[in-house]
C-alpha cells in the first residue's frame, strides 16, 4: 500500500524521521545554523522565559485594577450611606445662607454610617476619610477618599492610587400637593378613652351669620387631637423642606356630605332637581280640617264653632262671613271659614259659625327650581311652606351626580359620581344642592309622628306642622329642617372644603380652628374620598390647582385620609345620595336596612381609592382610635396605613407621614 495512504501513528513517526534525516544531510555539509534549526529541544523554556515578564504585568494590572474598582464601589456605597444618615439627623435649617459645617449630631451619625460601611485598612487601604458639608439648600454634600496600595504592579514601579467618591443627600420632596380628607363626624367630639360618649348637641353661629349645630366637644376630644396633628404635620414638613420646594395644601372635611358647592361654577350645578318633598294636592278647594262641620244650625248656641257678634245692621253681620285670611293660609297651614247662621234684629246681634280648614299636601318626590337657591340667596321661594319662603340659605353641601347601583366597580370605568375627571355637561353629570328645608320624612302612624327603626318615635318626635297627608301608605310628616333633626346629624353640612393652595401656618391653623370645623353627622368614607380625589386629580376639573410649577416637574401628590370609625350609613340620613329609604340611589331598594348599605358604600369607597392610586396619588390612611379594617387597609398605598390609639399617637403618625412625604433620595 502507498505510504501516502497511511493514517496511523506509524505514518506520523515515519514522516518525522524523514525530516530529521534531511536536516542531518544538510548539517553534514557543515552548516551550523542549519543544525541548530533542526534541533528543537529546549525551545519552550526559552519562550517561557521571554514571556514571563509581560504575563506578570498583565496579571498584576488585572488584579490591582480589580482591587481599585472594588474599593471605588464600596467607597461610593459608604459615602451614600453616610450622607443619607447625616441628612436625616441634620437639624432643620431655613435654607437661607450657606453654612460651613454639619451640626455635631449629624456629623457623628454620618461618620458612623460611613465607618460601618467602609473599614479603614480594608484591602490595605490607607488615608481613608469622609467629609460631609452642609449646603445652602438643606442638603449634605460629602466626599470620601481612600488610597489603594499596589501589589503586583508595585514591582513595576507603580505607586498607590487615590480613590475619591462624591455624594449628596437632600430631603427631596420636590414640589408636593397634600389633600387632607378628614372625618368630622359626631364621634370626633369624644375622647379616645370614652367613645362612645354622651355630649350635648348645641348651636353655633356660622361665619355667614346663620345657625349651625354640632356636638359639644369632650375634654381631650379626638377633633382637638386632629387639629393639633394637622399643625404638627405642617411644622414637620416645613422644617424638612428645602427652600426651593413648593407645597400646596387642601382640605375635605366629610360626614355623610361634603361642603364643596361653592368651589364649583354655578353652571356645574343643576337649575332644577327632585327632592323627597311635598306639593299642594291638586283640587279646586282646600280640604276640610280635622274638626267636624256642625250640622245643627237651628240651635246655633249649641255649636262649639259658633260665636256671637254684636253688630248695628244685618249687612254688617253678613260682612263677618267669609275666609280669614282672605287668601292663602296662616303660618300653621290653617284658615277659618266663617258662615252667617242668624241675625237677631232686636238684639242687634248675629251668630257666625267658624269652620277651620287646612291645606292638603301630597308627600312625594317633587321637582323644584333651585336656580336662585344655589346662588346662596337669603330669600328663596319655597313652595313647600305656607309662607312661601325658605328659612335658610344654601350652605354649599351637595347631592352627587348620577351613579350606578352596584356592589363592585371597575375603577377604569366609573359612573359619573365616582369618576374624578368627568366634566359636567348635562343634568346627569352636574351636581345638585342639598336643600333640607324642602325635605320631609313620611311617617307610618296616624299620630303625626315620624317613626324610626322598629317603631320608636324618638329621634323624630315632632307633630306634623303643616297639614294632611295624601300619601297612600303613610301619614304624619316631619320637615327635616327642624332643630332636633338638624342637631342630631340627620343632615350635616360642615366646614367648606378648601382647594389646593399654598398656605402659611396661620392659614392652616385658622382653617382647623375655625368655628365651623366641628363634629356632627354620620360616617360615610366614600363621600370624603370622592371629593378628595376629585380635588387633587391631575386630569380632572381642578387639574389647574395641582399643575406643575413653571419649569418644574409635576408635584408629588398625596391624600391623607383620617377617620375615627368604620363605615356607618343610615337609611334615614339625608346625604350626598339623598335619603336612601326613599331614593335608593346606592342600593336600589327602598326602605333597605342600614347593614345592607354598608357593603355598597364600601365598594364605592374602594373604587375611589383605586382611582386615586391609578392617578399616581399616594394614599395614607389613618384609623384613629379604631383598629384598621380590611377596607381601610386596602385603600392605602401599601405600607401606608396606621391606627393610632390616642391623640399623642395621632400626632406621632402625622409627623411620620410628613417625613415620608419629605422622603430622602440620593441626588448623586
Query: C-alpha cell of 597?
Result: 348599605
Identify the band that residue 157 occupies on the pLDDT scale cut at 50, 70 and 90. low
Q: Assess contact for 532 and 563: CB atoms under 8 A.
A: no
The per-residue pLDDT for 183 is 98
The secondary structure of 540-609 as a DSSP string is STTGGGGPPPTTSPPPEEEEEEEESS-----TT-EETTEEHHHH-SSSS-TT--HHHHHHHHHHHHHHHH
- Which alpha helices (DSSP H) does 90-159 contain, by range? 104-117
Identify the band that residue 34 occupies on the pLDDT scale cut at 50, 70 and 90. low
For CA atoms 459, 463, 468, 473, the dihedral sign is positive
The per-residue pLDDT for 159 is 72
Kindly report, residue by residue over 245-287, the tens digit of the pLDDT: 899 999 999 999 999 999 999 999 999 999 998 887 665 455 4
Which residue would you say has higher pLDDT here, 370 or 591? Answer: 370
Query: C-alpha cell of 596?
Result: 345592607
Separation of alpha carbons 275 and 440, rounded Å: 9
**pTM of full prediction above 0.75:** no
Kindly report, residue by residue over 43-96, the tens digit of the pLDDT: 565 555 555 556 555 554 567 677 888 888 999 999 999 988 888 777 544 333
Kindly report, residue by residue over 326-384, the tens digit of the pLDDT: 766 766 666 677 777 777 777 777 877 777 666 667 778 999 999 999 999 988 888 88
Grid-cell match 375603577, residue found? 411
Kindly report, residue by residue over 645-664, the tens digit of the pLDDT: 999 999 999 999 999 998 75
Query: C-alpha cell of 187?
Result: 364621634
560 closest CA partner among 650, 664, 448: 650
203 closest CA partner among 475, 394, 461, 486: 486
Amino acid at each position: 500500500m502507498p505510504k501516502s495512504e497511511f493514517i496511523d501513528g506509524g505514518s506520523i513517526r515515519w514522516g518525522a524521521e524523514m525530516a530529521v534525516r534531511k536536516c542531518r544531510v544538510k548539517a553534514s555539509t557543515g552548516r551550523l545554523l542549519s543544525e541548530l534549526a533542526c534541533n528543537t529541544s529546549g525551545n519552550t523554556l526559552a519562550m517561557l522565559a521571554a514571556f514571563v515578564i509581560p504575563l506578570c504585568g498583565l496579571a498584576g494590572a488585572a488584579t490591582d485594577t480589580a482591587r481599585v474598582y472594588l474599593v471605588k464601589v464600596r467607597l461610593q456605597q459608604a459615602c451614600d450611606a453616610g450622607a443619607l444618615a447625616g441628612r436625616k439627623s441634620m437639624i432643620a435649617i431655613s435654607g437661607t445662607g450657606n453654612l460651613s459645617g454639619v451640626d455635631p449630631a449629624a456629623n457623628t451619625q454620618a461618620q458612623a454610617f460611613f465607618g460601618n460601611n467602609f473599614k479603614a485598612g480594608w484591602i490595605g487601604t490607607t488615608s481613608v476619610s469622609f467629609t460631609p458639608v452642609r449646603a445652602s439648600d438643606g442638603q449634605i454634600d460629602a466626599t470620601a477618599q481612600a488610597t489603594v496600595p499596589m501589589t503586583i504592579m508595585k514591582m513595576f514601579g507603580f505607586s498607590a492610587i487615590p480613590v475619591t467618591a462624591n455624594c449628596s443627600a437632600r430631603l427631596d420632596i420636590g414640589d408636593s400637593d397634600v389633600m387632607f380628607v378628614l372625618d368630622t363626624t359626631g364621634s370626633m367630639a369624644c375622647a379616645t378613652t370614652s367613645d362612645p360618649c354622651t355630649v350635648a348637641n348645641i348651636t353655633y353661629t356660622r361665619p355667614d351669620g346663620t345657625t349651625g349645630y354640632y356636638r359639644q366637644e369632650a375634654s381631650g376630644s379626638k377633633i382637638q387631637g386632629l387639629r393639633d396633628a394637622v399643625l404638627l404635620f405642617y411644622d414637620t414638613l416645613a422644617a424638612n423642606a428645602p427652600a426651593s420646594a413648593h407645597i400646596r395644601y387642601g382640605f375635605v372635611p366629610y360626614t355623610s356630605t361634603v361642603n364643596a358647592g361653592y368651589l364649583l361654577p354655578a353652571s356645574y350645578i343643576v337649575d332644577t332637581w327632585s327632592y323627597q318633598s311635598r306639593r299642594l294636592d291638586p283640587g279646586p278647594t282646600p280640604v276640610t280640617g280635622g274638626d267636624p262641620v256642625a250640622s245643627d244650625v237651628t240651635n246655633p248656641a249649641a255649636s262649639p264653632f259658633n260665636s256671637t257678634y254684636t253688630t248695628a245692621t244685618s249687612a254688617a253681620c253678613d260682612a263677618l262671613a267669609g275666609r280669614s285670611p282672605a287668601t292663602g293660609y296662616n303660618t300653621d297651614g290653617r284658615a277659618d271659614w266663617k258662615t252667617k247662621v242668624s241675625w237677631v234684629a232686636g238684639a242687634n246681634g248675629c251668630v257666625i259659625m267658624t269652620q277651620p280648614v287646612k291645606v292638603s299636601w301630597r308627600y312625594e318626590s317633587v321637582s323644584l327650581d333651585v336656580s336662585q337657591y344655589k346662588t346662596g340667596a337669603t330669600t328663596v321661594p319655597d313652595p313647600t311652606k305656607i309662607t312661601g319662603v325658605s328659612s335658610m340659605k344654601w350652605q354649599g353641601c351637595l347631592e352627587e351626580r348620577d351613579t350606578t347601583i352596584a356592589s363592585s366597580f371597575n375603577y377604569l370605568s366609573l359612573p359619573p359620581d365616582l369618576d374624578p375627571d368627568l366634566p359636567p355637561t348635562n343634568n346627569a353629570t352636574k351636581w345638585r344642592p342639598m336643600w333640607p328645608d324642602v325635605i320631609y320624612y313620611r311617617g307610618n302612624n296616624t299620630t303625626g309622628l315620624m317613626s324610626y327603626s322598629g317603631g320608636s318615635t324618638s329621634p323624630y318626635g315632632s307633630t306634623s306642622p303643616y297639614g294632611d297627608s295624601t300619601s297612600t301608605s303613610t301619614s304624619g310628616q316631619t320637615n327635616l329642617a327642624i332643630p332636633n333633626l338638624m342637631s342630631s346629624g340627620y343632615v350635616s353640612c360642615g366646614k367648606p372644603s378648601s382647594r389646593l393652595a399654598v398656605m402659611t401656618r396661620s392659614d392652616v391653623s385658622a382653617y382647623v380652628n375655625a368655628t365651623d370645623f366641628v363634629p356632627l353627622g354620620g360616617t360615610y368614607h366614600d363621600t370624603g374620598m370622592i371629593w378628595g380625589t376629585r380635588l387633587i386629580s391631575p386630569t380632572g376639573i381642578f387639574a389647574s390647582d395641582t399643575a406643575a410649577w413653571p419649569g418644574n416637574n409635576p408635584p408629588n401628590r398625596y391624600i391623607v385620609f383620617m377617620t375615627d370609625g368604620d363605615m356607618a350609613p343610615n337609611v334615614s340620613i339625608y346625604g350626598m345620595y339623598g335619603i336612601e329609604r326613599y331614593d335608593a340611589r346606592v342600593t336600589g331598594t327602598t326602605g333597605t336596612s342600614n347593614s345592607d348599605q354598608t357593603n355598597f358604600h364600601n365598594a364605592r369607597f374602594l373604587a375611589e381609592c383605586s382611582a386615586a392610586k391609578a392617578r399616581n396619588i399616594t394614599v395614607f390612611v389613618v384609623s384613629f382610635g379604631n383598629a384598621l379594617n380590611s377596607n381601610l387597609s386596602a385603600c392605602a398605598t401599601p405600607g401606608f396605613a396606621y391606627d393610632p390609639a390616642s391623640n399623642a399617637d395621632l400626632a406621632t403618625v402625622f409627623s411620620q407621614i410628613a417625613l415620608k412625604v419629605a422622603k430622602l433620595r440620593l441626588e448623586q
